[in-house]
Amino acid sequence: MSDHSEAPVAPVEAYEPPYYVAVFTTVRTQDQSGYSETNARMEDLVKDVPGFLGMDHAQTPGGLGITVGYFRDADALTEWRSNAEHQAAQKRGRAEWYQSYTLHVAKVERSHGFTRAEVPQGPTAD
């Protein structure tokens, strides 16, 4: 997906269930002309969907990409799925950018998280 190297690395927080996830797993084609721009536009557009909670991305060195979108309710997910610009990007993805993909949508029934506490760094003795 997009380059988030300047942003801190952290997963989307755990929300109070129930909520929904859309897990989009892809293998892309060699020709990625226009993909980055369209992907950035989709990331901006989905943020405007009421009930959008966040998104996680991962890419393996072998080329498998995974994006997980989090949505407060089924209506938010439906609004995103029905967005005309998103539908046009999906069509272009099937025609040009994806060798294969799967989409899994699930209702989250349990959710929790963990963040390690920062340990203050004092002077070190030699």
Residue 21 pLDDT more than 60?
yes
Mean pLDDT value of segment 30-37: 94
Give the span between the Cα atoms of 63 and 97, in whole angstroms.
Answer: 12
For residue 125, what pLDDT is reported?
A: 62
Q: What is the pLDDT of residue 57?
A: 95
* DSSP letter string, 17-38: SPEEEEEEEEEE-S--TTHHHH
Sequential DSSP letters for 69-100: EEESSHHHHHHHHH-HHHHHHHHHIIIIIEEE
Average pLDDT over residues 45-61: 97
3-state SS class at 113? coil
Task: Pick the closest to residue 15 from 109, 105, 80 (CA basis).
Answer: 109
Q: What number is the average pLDDT over the span 13-42?
A: 96
Residue 3: what pLDDT?
A: 47
Query: Exposed, middle or buried by CB within 10 Å (0-12, 13-18, 19+), for 38?
Result: middle
In terms of residues, how long is the chain? 126
pLDDT at 22 exceeding the cut of 80: yes
Instruction: Report, as an integer, the average pLDDT of 89-117.
Output: 96
Name the pTM for this structure. 0.85
Among residues of the chain, what percentage have pLDDT more than 70? 91
